[in-house]
Structure formats: C-alpha cells, structure tokens
Structure 1
C-alpha cells in the first residue's frame, strides 16, 4: 500500500445522524436497526476478526456503513447484504465520500440475507457483521450453510444470544444454536459491547461471537446438506422438550421410545441423559454420520 492511498474515514455520531436525516431513515425494530456510531468499536470488531488482507468479507446489515468502511480499509473485497433499499442505494455514495480509494472493493447486494444463494456472492472467506438481532441466529446458520468457503466468523449479536451460541454442553443455556454453530467449527465469545455505541441505544447489551471454521480437509464430519439433513432434526427433537430424557424426547423422531433407546445405545449414549449433555460430536454420531 502506497502512502498516497488515504485510509477510510470512519463514521461518528454526527455523520450517522446526518446520513439518517438525508435518507429520512428512522431506525426500526422490525428490521433490528441500531446504527453503530463509534469508530473504536468498529476497530475492535475488525481486530477481533483477525482478517487477512486477501479475505472476501460478507457483511450483513451494513446500515449506514460504519463497519463497512472499516472492512474496506482492511480487506480486498467486501460484499454488503442490505435488505433496506434506501440504505443499499446510499452505501456506495458513503464509501465514495469517506473511503474513495477503496470504493472498488465494495459490492452491494440488496436482498434479504435469509434468501441469499451461492449465485449471489462469489466464495466469501469471512463473515463479519453487526447482525440484525431479531434474525441473528437464522442468518448466521443460513450463511454458514450457503457458503462453505467461509473460514472465519465474527458477529455482533444480542448478549444473551452470544452466550447461547458459545455455550458448552452441560450448561443451562446450551441448546440448538450452540450445537448447530459448533457443527462448523470452534465457537467462542470474543468480547462485550455496551449500548452507548449505537443510535438509538438498544435496551440490551451486545456481544461478539467468533467462529473459526474447520479447515478444509480437517473437518471431523462432512459439512454438507446431506449431513445437516440427518443431524438437524435430531438436534431439534432433543431440545424440543428440554426436561425430557433423550429416550422420550427422541421417541417421535425414531418412531417410538424403544427405537430411540436402541439408537442411543447404538451410539454409546445413555438414553436417560438430556439433550444439553450431548456434544455436537454425539449428535453427529447419533445421526449415523461417521466422524
């Protein structure tokens, strides 16, 4: 990088308010919009992601562009997925204003992140986003399933959701999101974010979650649609009624309690355990997938 290239100018509270006023945008709870206006928090998120300059980052819900600008300053390519037409249309202009030397690094996709297909984005290697809190887990799992090329995830979500995603087996908050996230790699909490860095300030605390996906060739099981189709229903059934033993909870899935017990014993799992005691390895084995 030459000295003539100017770094991106990150957005602060004044710029965020001015952009919102220009677009006549009022943040809505329906779309989970809380606009990040603190440059230091943007830097924290990007540092926690430990991105490589060659990464192709997919960002969901860029909003007014706070995190987008920091990402464009860091990696070669960013695809921003924004459902709001006004915000999607304005983002390139914001980048031209605040990071003109990096404008060619940005692609904007105006679409619902739950409906993104492999044809929409060419092999992203990282997901870094302040996810809309009302759909954070479905969006995260959808993108991991849609883009097996993703190797690193760093997302900001509601603090309680962050705790659940990173929970380990045996914990009271361990559940479906915990197991399904761990299916893809190592999941951990990567920090806490206060309310004051957003406009409007949400009523909840936020947390960072990092996922280091299994490296190609080292996956403990096949990361495929077929494997998910076999494992996901077992996970869902095991946690549908948390107080029940696995023998009872999985009776519907296997057709009867005796059949569930037979499957559990065949996988080396005590039928009297409850779902929260099983690791993702246990669920994969129970689904009949060799690991």
Structure 2
C-alpha cells in the first residue's frame, strides 16, 4: 500500500467546496449521492480486499471520494464517469491530492453501459458506489464484458443489495439474484447509513460482494439462452413455470415437456430454482421456437455518477 498524506481523502468540507467550485448540484436523474466520509470509503476498500497488485475499475466516481481511497491500496484505478463536469475535474483532483499516484489513475469519460474496452492492464476488481437507478444493469454488464474481474464490491440501495444476494425461496429472489449468481458467488457484505452521503438519500445502502466463479456453470446452454428462461420465469412470477414459460417454449405443453426433461416440477415457480436449474431448462428448449436476446436486467438507462 502506498503512503499518502493524512488529508489526501475528501471530507465533507472538501466535497462541498469542490462541488461549489464546479457548479455541481447532485441530480436524482443520475443517482448522484456523494460520499463525504473518509472512514466509509476506507471501509469499502478494506471490505473489497483490494490488493497492491489490483487493477480496479470504478463506475461513477463522482468527485473522487472512493477513487482516492482505492488509489491508496491498488496498483491502478480506472474510473468510468458519464458526467461531463465531473469527468473533467477528477484527474485534477487526483493530481492535487495524490500526486505520487496520479500516474496510476485513468479516466474513461463514457456511459458504463457502452464501455467495451478499458485502458491499460485488464481489471481484476470492480469497486463502486453505483448509481442506484442503474445499479443492476451496470453491474451485470461489467461482469459480462470484463471476465478478468475476479472480485467485486458494490454499494447499492439496501433493497437492491438484498435482491442481489437473495437465495432461492426468498421472497425477494428474482432476476438480479439469478443473473448475478451466473457469474459469481454473491453475498451481503455490510450496511451503510444515510448520513455519510451528500445529499442524504431517502433509503439505506448496502454492500454486496461478488467473487467470480472459478468454473462457469456446467451447461451446454449459452448465457443468452439461460437468461431468456430467467426473464420468462419471473415476468409472471406468481404463475407456475408451466404457465410462465409457455411463451418461451411455444406452448404450455411444450414448457411442461422441457421442465420434465430438466427434472423440474412443472408446478414449481421461478423463485424456487437455482441458476443451475434454469440452465438445465434452457438445455431442453423445444426446437423451432424463436430465440430472443434477454435483457441484462430490469432497466437499461445511462449510467453515471454514484460517488
């Protein structure tokens, strides 16, 4: 870990001063809530188990609170920021507060949903305070496009954290739970109070840890094929799978045949199935049915500042 000045991280006064100088007013549209507590960002870095050789990608760095804490611990940090003003200011903030680490920082001025390449070595970790309005699609997109990411720690709305980490049978288990589990072992990693943000959000926040699977799900079906089953199963989550998958399979009897072949009860519901069981169903899709590209997750809006 590098040695930095004690005041290198941003505190409440620093955040407000930077925002005022830039004319920045946090917007709900981009889910902007800036972290103003240095202890919180250091806690996030510790919980993420950032290593000295890590290349960390951060989505929505905002004014740079978490960015600076990551630079204390990682080898390199690549930040993806959509906001024009924030993207323009962040390199100067890094250079001013951590001049000895500035050459280990890179900025990508873009919507994270559109990024397909990152500068420098492949990222090994994703650590971010994700904009709450686009957290799930951004997370799943990054995991899909950058398979080198081994470890992820994201701060999201507490309700979303619960959904991501939910297990089969839980009432909040759904599309985000299954799709995240396709890529990684997922668990809740802590809670964050509202008073560490400016402006304070109306909801609590939660940390979610995702450790990428060392071996992919054993299935002949593709990710797109499995995700199509997941989307269909939860589009009508109160229905039995026989009914919910009728459109996917072409008819209710065809759905039943696929379920039986996969060893799944046609009377089961999607909320009771593991990702492996969804994959088994995908392998038995009747031939001749149309294939639709699944959504990454609910919502696909532009992603920007979380800070």
**Deviation of 1:8 (Å):** 7.0
- Is the alpha carbon distance of 1:99 and 1:2 closer, same or farther for their aligned partners in structure 2, counting shifts above 3 Å? closer
Partner SS for 1:143:
helix
Q: How many residue pairs are counted as aligned between the two chains? A: 284
**Deviation of 1:220 (Å):** 3.2
Where in structure 2 are the equivalents of 1:133-172 lying within 5 Å? 133-172=132-171
Partner SS for 1:73:
helix
1:270 counterpart = 2:278: no
CA distance in 1, matches of 2:120, 2:132: 23
1:72 counterpart = 2:67: no
1:23 counterpart = 2:18: no
Partner SS for 2:78:
strand
CA distance in 2, matches of 1:245, 1:77: 48
1:252 counterpart = 2:247: yes
CA distance in 2, matches of 1:102, 1:285: 48
> What's the counterpart of residue 256 of structure 2?
261
> What's the counterpart of residue 45 of structure 1?
44
1:237 counterpart = 2:227: no
> What's the counterpart of residue 290 of structure 2?
none
> What's the counterpart of residue 131 of structure 2?
132
CA distance in 1, matches of 2:110, 2:154: 19
**Deviation of 1:120 (Å):** 5.7
- Is the alpha carbon distance of 1:121 and 1:101 closer, same or farther for their aligned partners in structure 2, counting shifts above 3 Å? closer
Where in structure 2 are the equivalents of 1:201-220 lying within 5 Å? 201-215=200-214, 218-220=215-217
- Contact 1:6 1:101 (8 Å CA) reproduced: no
- Contact 1:77 1:105 (8 Å CA) reproduced: yes
- Is the alpha carbon distance of 1:19 and 1:242 closer, same or farther for their aligned partners in structure 2, counting shifts above 3 Å? same
> What's the counterpart of residue 91 of structure 2?
92
**Deviation of 1:2 (Å):** 7.9
Provide the aligned C-alpha RMSD in A.
Answer: 1.7
Partner SS for 1:101:
coil
1:179 counterpart = 2:178: yes
- Is the alpha carbon distance of 1:94 and 1:103 closer, same or farther for their aligned partners in structure 2, counting shifts above 3 Å? same
Q: Which residues of structure 2 form unaligned runs of 5+?
A: 285-307
> What's the counterpart of residue 221 of structure 1?
218
CA distance in 1, matches of 2:39, 2:227: 38
Q: Which residues of structure 1 form unaligned runs of 5+?
A: none
CA distance in 1, matches of 2:259, 2:27: 46
**Deviation of 1:118 (Å):** 3.0
- Is the alpha carbon distance of 1:228 and 1:2 closer, same or farther for their aligned partners in structure 2, counting shifts above 3 Å? closer
CA distance in 1, matches of 2:121, 2:84: 22
Partner SS for 1:183:
helix
Partner SS for 1:144:
helix
CA distance in 1, matches of 2:127, 2:179: 18
- TM-score, normalised via structure 1 length: 0.94
> What's the counterpart of residue 55 of structure 1?
54
- Contact 2:108 2:118 (8 Å CA) reproduced: no
**Deviation of 1:221 (Å):** 3.1
CA distance in 2, matches of 1:219, 1:7: 43
- Contact 1:8 1:69 (8 Å CA) reproduced: no
CA distance in 1, matches of 2:152, 2:64: 19
